[in-house]
Amino acid sequence: MDRIIIVHFGELSTKGDNRGLFIDCLYKNIRHRLRSFEGLEYEKAREHIYIKLLPTADVGATIDALGEIPGIQRLSLSYFVNRDIEAISVASLALLEEHKPATWKAKVKRADKSFPLDSYTTASEVGGYCLSHKAPPVDVHEPEATLNIEVRPEGAYVSLKEYPGLGGYPLGMNGKVLTLLSGGIDSPVACYQLMRRGLLVEAFHFASPPYTSLAVLDKLRDILKVLNKYQSKVRLHVVPFTKIQEAIYRYVPEPYCITIMRRMMLRLAEMGAKKYRCPAIATGEAVGQVASQTLESLRTINAVTNYPILRPLACSDKLSIIKTAKEIGTFEISIRPYEDCCTIFAPKKPKTKPRIEEAEKYEALFDFAPLLLEAIENTSDEVISDLEI
């Protein structure tokens, strides 16, 4: 009997036209992620992707890795057998003996209508065989486990155990987004949510040396290395932000400094998005979290660009963001001490309801356009990838 992992697709059902694209993209991502794994054979079909496990395969590691690939809804670990009732029954019993559920029931799907037995008869034959071989009792109403039997033209798949996937879309399927990445807790979680949604993240960071230390760059690299398990290659751009920040603090009244700083960040992000061909920008902002994230602030900051700004954490509680950060493994890196340009220059009393006209008035006090151009020209470009692992 062959062991096979059946990969069930994520949000594919609603995307009729994109089916081929979705499957091709997911297949490519799976092959890439599992490229160093031994003993696997792949098959791409309309309904599922099948991964055959040869004796040298590491089943646990394969399932763990698949659990980190966006676009997979769930995985079933199955036996693949000939499409005859005896082989199906033997495989079913083997699975019940392996996992020993307290109760179970068989659920049959017949994609191959030429199979001589109907679904009901197949289920009762399998039930009869297993019960006569001391399998646990059947409970058709509330079983602890469901034995899924899928009869297809090429054979039958029998599975008992399922593993959850990440859901969402295959990475890259929904395009590329320029994501503002600080060294904090929120923005790495935002990156993860974007990746899960099939978006390729291109990371954009504002550095203000010597006010912020260069160690933050190592922190960002470490964060992106953790995120490499979802996106194996991330480009990181570091924008030299010191001159702009100094100008802001020279010309702008203190309560408006953060607002103007964030407007400058977004202007630069738009320039970066054009340069790196990203149709959208993303941030780790959450409504109400700090002064610059009130609705009025977001509006005044947003007014400098027409680009769509994705804020995956807009409505998330800090506690749930922290929980996710811990689950994906970025939390421990994010809490390493560091100074962000936002915290270094944080005014004592930031404006919580800044107005667009006021912001424009203060911005007219200095010539910022050449500073932005200079910053974009000197922005670095580096690739953080898992290829060396």
Give the residues lining the site for ligand ATP (CB under 6 A): 180-182, 184-187, 205-206, 283-285, 289-290, 292, 340-342
217, containing H or E segment: helix 215-227
Distance in Å, CB of 156 to ligand ATP, minimum: 49
Alpha-carbon distance of 285 to 189, in angstroms, equals 11
Nearer to ligand ATP, 89 or 379 (CB): 379
Residue from 62, 36, 60, 58 nearest 50 by CA = 62
Residue with tokens 């659990």: 67
Distance in Å, CB of 182 to Mg ion, minimum: 4
Distance in Å, CB of 29 to Mg ion, minimum: 30
Nearer to ligand ATP, 88 or 325 (CB): 325
Nearer to ligand ATP, 87 or 290 (CB): 290
The DSSP code for 12 is G
Nearer to ligand ATP, 123 or 180 (CB): 180
Q: Which of 29, 78, 148, 182 binds Mg ion (CB under 5 A)?
A: 182
Contacts with Mg ion, 322-351, as mask; x by CB under 5 A: ------------------x-----------
- How wide is the angle at C-alpha 274 spanned by C-alphas 270 and 277, nearest 5°? 125
Residue with tokens 């979705």: 22
Distance in Å, CB of 32 to ligand ATP, minimum: 27
- Under the binding rule (CB under 5 A), the answer on residue 231 touching Mg ion is no
- Under the binding rule (CB under 5 A), the answer on residue 270 touching Mg ion is no
3-state secondary structure of 49: strand
Contacts with Mg ion, 120-159, as mask; x by CB under 5 A: ----------------------------------------
From the number of C-beta atoms within 10 Å of its C-beta (0-12, 13-18, 19+), residue 378 rates as exposed
Residue 31 in contact with residue 99, Cβ under 8 Å? no
Residue from 67, 269, 278 nearest 172 by CA = 278
- Under the binding rule (CB under 5 A), the answer on residue 293 touching Mg ion is no
Phi, psi of 241 (to 5 degrees): -110, -5
User: Among 70-78, 177-185, 331-339, 381-389, which window interacts with Mg ion (CB under 5 A)?
Assistant: 177-185
Phi, psi of 346 (to 5 degrees): -60, 125
Enumerate binding residues for Mg ion (CB under 5 A): 182, 184, 340
